[in-house]
């Protein structure tokens, strides 16, 4: 029950459904291969099972396609309940809902606050608001 619940919370139902032996399928070198985003969601399920009070996620959506990124982000809400989550990310969409965001430049904290607090600041060439505005422009791009 615990394994299936963790897989469900980590948005892995679709992954398990397509595996030949479900949760008993061997993954990896001598088994089935998963995409980067699918591996991330399985890793989140493992973190949910471990039930550690502190979870560190380093570029957890780096290898996720847009569909998997959305699912991984949904899974973050489950992993973060009643835990301290430290999330290292370059994708601003990944940290947008964090309780507090620390912006690092040259190894130092240059800004901190919630997403709304940081985007409310006056825009400069290298602050969070500027990065957020550039990110918003980039997601509007269309390939024709």
pLDDT at res. 48: 83
CA 19 vs. chain centroid, Å, equals: 23
pLDDT in tens, 7-37: 988 889 999 999 999 999 998 888 788 988 7
pLDDT in tens, 25-78: 998 888 788 988 788 888 888 888 887 889 888 887 776 677 767 777 777 777
Vertex 95: Cα angle to 38 and 69 (nearest 5): 20
> Is the whole-model pTM more than 0.95?
no
Q: What does the alpha-carbon distance between residue 55 and residue 7 come to, in Å, rounded to a whole number?
A: 17
* Cα diameter, the chain: 54
pLDDT in tens, 78-132: 777 788 889 888 888 888 888 999 999 999 999 999 999 999 998 887 789 999 9
Vertex 101: Cα angle to 100 and 106 (nearest 5): 145
């Amino acid at each position: 029950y615990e394994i299936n619940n963790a897989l469900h919370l980590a948005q892995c139902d679709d992954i398990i459904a397509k595996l030949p032996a479900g949760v008993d399928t061997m993954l990896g070198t001598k088994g089935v291969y998963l995409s980067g985003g699918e591996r991330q969601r399985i890793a989140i399920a493992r973190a949910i099972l471990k039930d550690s009070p502190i979870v560190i996620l380093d570029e957890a959506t780096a290898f996720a396609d847009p569909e998997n990124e959305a699912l991984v982000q949904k899974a973050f809400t489950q992993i973060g309940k009643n835990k301290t989550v430290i999330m290292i990310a370059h994708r601003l969409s990944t940290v947008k809902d964090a309780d507090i965001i620390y912006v690092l430049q040259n190894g130092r904290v240059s800004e901190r606050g919630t997403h709304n607090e940081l985007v409310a600041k006056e825009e400069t060439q290298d602050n969070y608001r500027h990065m957020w505005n550039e990110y918003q422009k980039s997601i509007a791009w269309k390939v024709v």
